[in-house]
Structure 1
Amino acid sequence: MTHFVSHIATVEIPVSHVQKSVEWYTDIFGLNVHFQDQNSAMLTFGAKGVPTIYLVETKEQQGLSFRNTNNDVVHSVIDFYTPSLTDFYQWLQEKHVDVGPLNIHPEHGYGGFGFKDPDGNLLSATNILHPGQ
């Protein structure tokens, strides 16, 4: 069977104020503004390009997260990769970003943590790479 999809092109994120969110996402992730108008902005990771982050202004704020009904853990729908998990965690704290607990496995050093954007969307950071990444 032929596979028609090769990668995730864009992750769309609801925001209440496009300009405020553009400033936050470019500061926190070093993203580049590819396109911006009054109600939306397309941000890119520079040379890597994919996926793009599409910020869409809306009055309907539901937030990005879900509760796992098997164990009551609240999950984000986006994990950002960093090889320097502890450094990124401390840097976010210094920038007064709302961060959750830092979870690093003592034996292999892999882990992650959750944090929120200005609209309360739950995002995560991890130092785990999967095959093909």
Structure 2
Amino acid sequence: MTPILNQIGTVFIPVSNIEKARDWYCDILGLPVDREILYGHLYVVPMNGTGIVLDSKIYSEDNIFRTPAFHLNTNNIEEAYEFMKSKNVNLTTQIEHNQWFNFKDPDGNQLMVCKC
């Protein structure tokens, strides 16, 4: 028996500007910007399931995600793609296999949206 659970608690995303990152992530996820920035460098994005913590203290050009470390779910991949396009998000792939696409956040972190 191990005391380590087979669960992911949260994913830390390195960001250069905590306020701008908070606003961008809340915008694309349709969330209100109503939580406090902690310790001047952390923002806990209110997620269902595994959490996301934006952290400006760990940011460096060498520390950004060059491949997606996780994906965000969608029920409609085409609608999600068009939504991100309308937000002028940097889309780095088309919809692949009618299942997923990749994009970059404003700091250059490579992320993914996948049909669940």
Q: Please indicate, yes or no, whether the TM-score normalized by the shorter chain is above 0.5.
A: yes
Q: Determine which structure has greater relative contact order: mean sequence separation of CA pairs < 8 Å that are 6+ residues apart, divided by chain length.
A: 2
Task: Please state how far the C-alpha of 1:34 moved relative to its aligned partner.
Answer: 4.5
| Matched ranges for 1:1-133 at <5 A | 1-2=1-2, 4-31=4-31, 34-37=35-38, 38-45=40-47, 48=48, 50-58=49-57, 59-61=59-61, 62-65=63-66, 75-105=67-97, 109=98, 111-128=99-116
Identity %: 29
Give CA deviations for 1:71-118 in whole Å, capped at 9, x if unaligned: xxxx3111111011110101111111000222343xxx4x10100111
- TM-score, normalization: structure 1? 0.74
- Paired amino acid for 1:39: H
| Partner Cα distance (2:100, 2:107) in 1 | 21
- TM-score, normalization: structure 2? 0.83
Aligned-residue CA RMSD (Å): 2.0
Equivalenced residues, count: 112
Which structure is larger by alpha-carbon Rg, 1 or 2? 1
Report which of the two has the higher share of helix.
2
Structure 1 unpaired stretches of 5+? 66-74, 129-133
Instruction: Mark the CA change 1:87 to 1:41 in structure 2 (over 3 Å): closer, same or farther.
Output: same
Report which of the two has the higher share of strand.
1
Paired residue for 1:72? none
The question of whether the paired residues in 2 share the 8 Å contact of 1:35 and 1:43 is answered with: no
Point out 4+ residue stretches in structure 1 off by more than 3 angstroms: 1-4, 31-35
